[in-house]
Chain A
Amino acid sequence: MSFFYLLEAFQTIFSDLSSLLFILMGVTAGIMVGCLPGLTATMGCALLIPFTFSLPPVQGLLMLMGIFTGGIYGGSISAILIRTPGTPAAAATLLDGHPLSMRGEAGKAIGIGTIASFVGGTIGALIMAFMAPQIAKFGLLFGPPEFFALAIFGLSMIISISGESLLKGAIAALIGLLITTIGFDPLSGVPRFTFNNENLLGGITFIPALIGMFGFAQVFRNIERMELVPQVKSKVGRLLPPFKEVRSLLPTMAKSGSMGAVTGSVPGLGCDIAAFIAYGEAKRTSKTPEKFGQGSLEGIAAPEAANNGATGGAMIPMLTLGVPGDAVTAVLLGALTIHGFQPGPLLFRDHLDVVYPIFAGMILCQLVLLIVGLSGARLFAKLINIDTRILTPVIFLLCIVGSYSMRFSFFDVGLALTIGVIAYFMGKAKFPVSPVLLALILGPMAEQNMRRSLMYSQDDLSIFVTRPISAAFLILAVIMVYSGYRRFKKIKEIEARMQTESQHQEG
């Protein structure tokens, strides 16, 4: 059944060559954004959403997904060449990528990385195309109490994206939740926290908030960093790896790709964690584990296949339930909403004409990635050498124009700049920004569904625990927070032990 729809979607995309062009543009732009350190896939999507406004929804989405795929892949190029991951997802790739590059085999490393990204990404996209409709079918059983519980479950994921301090992550999420209450209350029409400013009646709009948090704040950080870190230059060398080597790596790629897709589909885990998990697993099962960290080809194939596999996985909860898996999918969710589609189980019932082209597009993105990646790697590597004194002002300009273009409003530009300054200081005080973004999306979902449920149950709070699915999500949320906290404690303990040990050695 879904296979038939998928074929039809391919036909739709191929019938209009401009769709392919948008995928090509998206992937290329994504790789460019990804391989430049300081520009993440999240930022790329945020900056390029305004470019998709006037496109037909499907084409706009195809382009954004291209940026997502390309961005996650592009990060590996700079990880291999200059030991700086262009995106957090490529952090595991530099462990083996950079040693190879030191030996003058950077080209081979990038080549393997590209093929692994293609294999992993395709597996991830296929898993998405066949799993998502099933999950959406299950989601059709959900009523307001279930969606409330799901939103709480999604918010409990914050524990895994909080970075160094759980408390600060929680505070960031709570601030995000408070921000979502600005503007008209959708259920009663009462304006809240608008301070009689008509620009705030509709609430804090998504795009300026996004560009502020991930665009402006990053630009400020990059400008500050110019004082500290000199730019590193890059070299590539021979590109295509011999076929025999690729063939021996195929099992690793396939396994890591599917692991990545599964990891990515758990909200909150995302592409970077998927890459590290796959790297660890590949090392554990490898015949030559001692080579890991010294420039092992498996050590590149595994994380690269996994992080691109995770892109497909992360799309599953976002599309089927409206719960984004990580920051980039949160941005994509925002983009879907802007184009007039509300992600969730109903999307699969009412808009199959959008859903299946998304699946087909995701698969095509991988193919385009392979072609563009292999033919253009040299060019992209040169991008890393672009003068940051030229690049930064251009990105700054794009942030300003991007925040203006949503509502043609200078208020939004000011808002984005303000949020950018706040986010910059939050980063300095180690308050993570991603929880705010997650809260912006899940906040309205939690509030409205909670109040709808309580209207339905006539103020009886037990409605959330007596319905099985809702109770299950709430229990999962508690388990998630608890296990996240335990894991966090453990990491802290290990860190503390390592510190005392090194002090002993010095003493």
Chain B
Amino acid sequence: MKSNRIDLLTGIGLCLISLAVFIYAFEFSGRGVNSYGPNFFPQAIACLLFLASAGLIYQALKGHTTASIESINKAGFIKASVTLALAIIYVFAMNFVGFFIATIAFLYAVMFYLGQRKQIVLTITALSVASVIYGIFSVFLKIPLPEGIL
């Protein structure tokens, strides 16, 4: 699959972003010590980004796009998305049930979802990995992990 269409859309999107950055950056001016104040660098980069994305659009329109893009495997993509969703739930759950319990549940759920069905493997891995991580971070490195409200 050629990436012309995706490159075209990305190029347009980046052009718009660089314009937005350029305009927004005017707010930072006025307080600099010299005439190259805090707005200068972002605006210079925004100009370059605009030019580069214009180049991308030009290439895409002329069909010159060199790299072909990787197609997305649908089943794999869904799997990755569900895992991401599980991770987000895990991060929120951690605040309620605490790091340890949430981690065991998260590991168990993800391994199960990815196709590991052996109960013994699931239980032992989830328990031992959670304990080791908890031990290293909380006890050894003294990083305060969320305890939850329970």
Q: Is the interface of A mostly helix, strand, loop or mixed?
A: helix
- Are the C-beta atoms of A396 and B87 separated by less than 8 Å? yes
Asked if A220 is at the interface of the complex by the 8 Å CB criterion, the answer is: yes
- Are the C-beta atoms of B41 and A220 separated by less than 8 Å? no
- Given known contacts A220-B80, A393-B107, A174 and B36 CB-to-CB distance under 8 angstroms: no
CA distance A225 to B83 in the complex (A): 14
* Chain B positions within 8 Å of A408 at CB level: 143-144
- Given known contacts A178-B46, A427-B70, A397 and B83 CB-to-CB distance under 8 angstroms: no
* Chain A positions within 8 Å of B25 at CB level: 192
- Are the C-beta atoms of A193 and B114 separated by less than 8 Å? no
Q: State which size class the interface on A falls in.
A: 35 or more
Q: Which residue in chain B gives the minimum CB-CB distance to A55? A: B141
| Cβ proximity bits B27-70 to A, threshold 8 Å, 1 near / 0 not | 01001111111101110011011001101100100000111111
Asked if A390 is at the interface of the complex by the 8 Å CB criterion, the answer is: yes
Q: Which residue in chain A gives the minimum CB-CB distance to B53? A: A171
Asked if A37 is at the interface of the complex by the 8 Å CB criterion, the answer is: no
CA distance A178 to B43 in the complex (A): 9
| Cβ proximity bits A235-248 to B, threshold 8 Å, 1 near / 0 not | 00000000000000
Asked if A501 is at the interface of the complex by the 8 Å CB criterion, the answer is: no
CA distance A164 to B67 in the complex (A): 6
Residue picked from B42, B53, B106, most chain A C-beta under 10 Å? B42
Residue picked from B53, B87, B95, most chain A C-beta under 10 Å? B87
Q: State which size class the interface on B falls in.
A: 35 or more
Within 8 A of B (CB), among A172-189: 174-175, 177-178, 181, 185, 187-189
- Are the C-beta atoms of B52 and A223 separated by less than 8 Å? no
Q: Which of A295-303, A342-350, A413-421 contacts B (4 or more CB under 8 A)?
A: A413-421
* Chain A positions within 8 Å of B133 at CB level: 397-398, 401
A37 to chain B, nearest CB (A): 16
12 new A-B contacts, CB < 8 A, other than A185-B38, A189-B31, A390-B125, are A167-B52, A167-B56, A174-B52, A178-B45, A188-B33, A192-B25, A192-B38, A192-B42, A220-B84, A394-B129, A401-B145, A450-B36
Q: Give the interface of B toward A (CB within 8 A).
A: 3, 6-7, 10, 14, 21, 24-25, 28, 31-38, 40-42, 45-46, 48-49, 52-53, 55-56, 59, 65-70, 72-73, 75-77, 79-80, 83-84, 87-88, 90-91, 95, 103, 106-107, 110-111, 114-116, 121, 125, 129, 133, 136-137, 140-145
